[in-house]
Amino acid sequence: MASLDADRTSGTGTPVTTTPGGSPPPLTADAAALRAFLDGRYAAVRDDVRQRLVEHAGILDEGADLPREELQRRVRDLVVEIGSTGQAAQGFPSTYGGGGDIGASIASFETLAYGDLSVLVKSGVQFGLFGGAVLHLGTERHHEAYLADIVSARTLGCFAMTETGHGSNVQALGTIARHDPDTDELVVTTPDDDARKDYIGNAARDGDLAVVFAQLEVGGVGRGVHAVLVPLRRDGEVLPGVRIEDCGAKLGLEGVDNGRIWFDDVRVPRDNLLDRFATIDADGTYRSSIDNPDRRFFTMLGTLVQGRVSIAGAGVGASKVALDIAVRYALRRRQFEATSGDEETLLLDYGMHQRRLLPLLARTYALSAAQEEVARQLHEVFSQDTPEADDRARRALESRAAGTKALTTWHATATIQECREACGGAGYLSANRFAALKADTDVFTTFEGDNHVLLQLVAKGLLTDYSSEFEDLDQFGMVRFVAGLAVDTVVERTNAHQLLERIRDVLPGGRERWDQEAGLLDPDYQLAMFRFREEHLVAGAARRLKAGVDAGTPAGQVFSRVQDHVIAAARAHVERLVLEAFVSRVRALPPGETREVLTALSDLHALTTIEADRGWFLEHGRLSAPRSKAITREVSAILRRLRPVAIELVEAFGIPAEVRGARELVG
């Protein structure tokens, strides 16, 4: 096996200059330069949000003590103020008071996650979900009538999709919107309690208007799920035919007024149908530009992808807050025997503490790069210059947004927990923010789609590469489709021999055994490992789906048995996209200390990901036992290199001290 020194290469694949002792030189870091890397093109937008967070930082201290109703009023007032300042309008057309820049709106939302998360979520409901639905599902008459008031928060609204009996399975919603030709109205009805709208933000006390997703019936024919504008309140009073209940106390986000809604034959004008993709003419004729009802449904939902991108950004933002606190605490708190002098040892000088926090820090940087790439794609697909993106770009965005949301929100949950533990008993005090961070972000893993369901959507996207027919299939259609697919074609794409040849082509010294001789710190080697795992798992999932159906097993049972393989393949795919995004961003930097630090973070992220799944790589012949041990040694070496620049790495997040709080922990 190659020596450890031979494994040292930079983010470009070229050797790293070493000291006479064989070790790479110490790292130095400029927090401002790292912050510029993280903030990207929207640094000014992020700075504006930071300033406003400082102005309203008091809610972080007040939130734990205010009665629930008073807290909800306080949060509502802040959301209304956000609307009045134009801070939430970046993603809306300038015609209606917006900035016409979707990327700016995502950057703003991510930075807003540094502050009170009830304000973040209520803002997301108002401007992202409710406003986004009117923007993307409505047409000009809806825009003219509502958008200016929504953007300014003069009209507060709800996104009424989820039902008690149907969450992720939106296509089977039970609420009905029946066209009455005699009055030319839509009659909105909740047929039973399973069809009541549930967990709806802004519903319990503040929402005046709702975008209601319902099964549209025209001329006695079901046309599938469509969105209808339904008034809920006038002058604060709930309207006749509408019944609303508060969902009650929750695990977190108590500043958000989640409620349940029933409709008892509520009549609204026909024009309240948000009809970008389908309309009802004055004579009662249903028309749609998309004939296939399944394709129409998925196209409609695809326009709402911004919600998932926003939640992913919020997960990244919350992770940064937790790490900022925990790393600062570890650089202040001393414990146990002193290594020199009379003082005890700082927590972050312990190897295990570095192992706990620094890989999470590296993954946060990687996910930030991945999130920036998703936001860039979102901006391109939905920019005002290209209102109708091509299908392939739209599908790629939907898949990437779903997968990134899953990984970032799972990462937030794990990171906040680890950081809380790393701060000991002090981290358990409400004043030090972890209680709120844990409680308020826990729902992110199921917001905008359960993460496991979202990874199934990613898997569907992977198989879509083999046939466009697959785009509109549900999980059972997925099984039937793969059963008829020439799975040998899928397997051929991931043939181990061919893949190995491709990997050798991109590695220095490709004639040697790549799993022994390639540099551990070569990003091409790291990406090759991620690609091999992804393509092997995709082929394996397809093979298992086909084998199950060929054996005569019912489609539902086949999918259930293979579901873990499907999700593993999707997760491996997204992990590869994350690493590619980070490596690409780092490679684009000019040589210098900032690039060196970020290269070390990229290496740490890649190697700890391989290390965490070393069992799989060993089983599939991509790691030898000595190579596996060398990765662990290299990880430890990178941790030691990053330790001196840990404070700059969290200072780069740009979290104002007034917002960070946790004064008992960080001083």
Q: Which residues participate in catalysis according to the annotation?
A: 448
CB contact at 8 A, 11 and 629: no
Q: Which DSSP helix (H) or strand (E) runs through 186?
A: strand 185-189
At 659, phi and psi to the nearest 5? -90, -40
Dihedral angle at the C-alpha atoms of 59, 61, 65, 69, nearest 10 degrees? 10
- Which stretches within 96-168 are classed as H helix? 102-112, 117-123, 131-137, 140-142, 148-151
Nearest of 112, 117, 435 to residue 256 by alpha carbon: 117
What whole-number distance in Å separates Cα of residue 311 and Cα of residue 301? 16
**Integer CA distances (angstroms), 258 to 122, 199, 509, in order:** 10, 5, 59
Contacts of 317 (CB under 8 A, 6+ apart): 110, 111, 112, 113, 114
**Tokens 């020199």 belong to residue:** 340
What whole-number distance in Å separates Cα of residue 178 and Cα of residue 176? 6
Strands 157-160 vs 233-234: parallel, antiparallel or unpaired = unpaired
What whole-number distance in Å separates Cα of residue 610 and Cα of residue 605? 9
How many helices and strands (H and E) does the chain possess? Answer: 27, 15
Token output for 146 = 């509502």
β-bridge partners, 335: 345
Nearest of 234, 275, 304, 300 to residue 141 by alpha carbon: 275
What whole-number distance in Å separates Cα of residue 508 and Cα of residue 523? 11
Token output for 442 = 């826990």
The DSSP line for 279-294 is EE-TTS-EEES---HH
What whole-number distance in Å separates Cα of residue 413 and Cα of residue 285? 49
Neighbours of 363 (CB within 10 A): 24
Angle between helices 523-550 and 496-506 (to 10 degrees): 170
β-bridge partners, 222: 217
At 210, phi and psi to the nearest 5? -130, 140
Rounded to the nearest 5 percent, the helix, strand and coil shares of the chain are 60, 10, 30
CB contact at 8 A, 258 and 160: no
Token output for 65 = 């003590």
CB contact at 8 A, 459 and 570: yes
3 state DSSP class of 178: strand
β-bridge partners, 259: 200, 246
